[in-house]
């Protein structure tokens, strides 16, 4: 049984560009959450998707948007990239219940 997978592993973009990150949840998990982890910091909650809708959102600007597909996989989109968007982006999936399983993350560098 594959765990949570994320792609790509690393990504380099320039300021002003747009980026899409992808996440495939663990089998049987219907909820996907996204977190941003700046270097040396704890992860910060971006948003959560359930049944293809955004169920919760953290304090992130509208430049951050997402989508969940019928197979529960999810995308995180960031528009108009800023240098401060450089971070590790983590995806976590969960069944009904409290435990969240994390993927290996996507390291985004904005130059």
Task: Collect all residues with Cβ–Cβ distance below 8 Å to 95 and sequence separation of at least 6.
Answer: 28, 29, 30, 31
Q: Is 50 in the site for other proteins (CB under 8 A)?
A: yes
Q: Is 100 in the site for other proteins (CB under 8 A)?
A: yes
| Per-residue tokens: 9 | 């592993």
**Position among 88, 108, 109, 110 found at the interface with other proteins (CB under 8 A):** 88
Give the span between the Cα atoms of 3 and 60, in whole angstroms. Answer: 27
Using the rule CB under 8 A, give the single segment among 11-19, 20-28, 72-80, 87-95 that binds other proteins.
87-95
Rounded to a whole number of angstroms, the minimum distance from the CB of residue 45 to other proteins is 4
Distance of CA 15 to the CA centre of its chain: 19
Q: Is 90 in the site for other proteins (CB under 8 A)?
A: yes
């Amino acid at each position: 049984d594959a765990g949570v997978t994320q792609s790509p592993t690393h990504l380099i973009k320039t300021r002003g560009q747009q980026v899409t990150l992808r996440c495939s949840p663990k089998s049987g998990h219907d909820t996907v959450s996204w977190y941003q982890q700046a270097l040396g910091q704890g992860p910060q909650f971006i948003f959560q998707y359930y049944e293809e809708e955004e169920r919760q959102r953290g304090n992130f600007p509208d430049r951050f948007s997402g989508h969940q597909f019928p197979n529960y996989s999810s995308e995180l989109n960031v528009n108009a990239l800023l240098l401060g968007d450089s971070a590790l982006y983590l995806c976590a999936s969960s069944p009904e219940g409290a435990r969240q399983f994390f993927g290996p993350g996507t390291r985004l560098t904005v130059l």
